[in-house]
Amino acid sequence: MKLTFLLSFVFMTATLFASTKCDNTYSSASYALNHTKKSISSKNFDHQKYYAYKALEALEKVKNQIEVCGCDKAMDPILDGIENLEKASDPKDFEMGRYYTKKAFGDIQTLISQLDIYTQGIEQTFDSSNFSIDQDSSEEKALLSELAAIKSQKIKLAEEQARLLERQKAIEKQINRTGS
């Protein structure tokens, strides 16, 4: 019983640490995504530029927060998104602004996916071998086996999410080529 409690406590602590470490980054990225959506759906040129600018501010905040979070793989979509939102916040015309805002929207979606994959990776670093337990107990063996299966399933899900993200990018590129 003590082992079950100990394993549960350590797992919850590791999960909490992983999620709180990136909470502010997630929040700012969600804010940027929200304003990017508003920019895309705007029918007024000034509103489109305004929301693109607000999204740009939020994405620049994400860039500063990513150091605390530690997800280095998210830096590329952040920089791409900033570049596209700079162009969208001061475009030549309405259509050009919408084009760059849509590109930034994809970058921010990639960013959020990278943050998801990263936080799952932190949770996966929990290693039950750090605990000394009596291996003679069948209950303890079953718990360790179940924990290993859960960790394996999380890794598979993270890999599948990465594959789906790449497929989404390819489809979006194909749509952009056929729509242009």
- Structural domain includes residue 4: no
Look at 4-8, 41-45, 63-67, 146-150 and tell me which has the smallest mean pLDDT.
4-8
- Same structural domain for residues 91 and 161? no
- Structural domain includes residue 11: no
Mean pLDDT score, 117-139 = 54
The predicted model scores a pTM of 0.59
User: How many domains does one find in the chain?
Assistant: 2
Band (117; pLDDT cuts 50, 70, 90): confident
- Find the CATH number of the domain harbouring 34: 1.20.120.660
Band (94; pLDDT cuts 50, 70, 90): very high
* Predicted pLDDT of residue 122: 54
- Residue 118: what residue type? Y
* Predicted pLDDT of residue 163: 85
- Structural domain includes residue 82: yes
Mean pLDDT score, 171-175 = 87
Mean pLDDT score, 17-41 = 81
Which H/E stretch holds residue 97?
helix 94-124
CA angle 8, 9, 15 (to 5 degrees): 90
Band (166; pLDDT cuts 50, 70, 90): confident
Distances (CA, A) of 175 to 39, 84, 150, 168, 179: 20, 18, 37, 10, 6
Residue 79 has pLDDT above 90, yes or no: yes
* Predicted pLDDT of residue 134: 46
Structural domain span for residue 169 = 129-180
Question: Who's near 3: CB < 8 A, 6+ residues apart?
Answer: 131, 133, 137, 139, 140, 143
- Structural domain includes residue 14: no
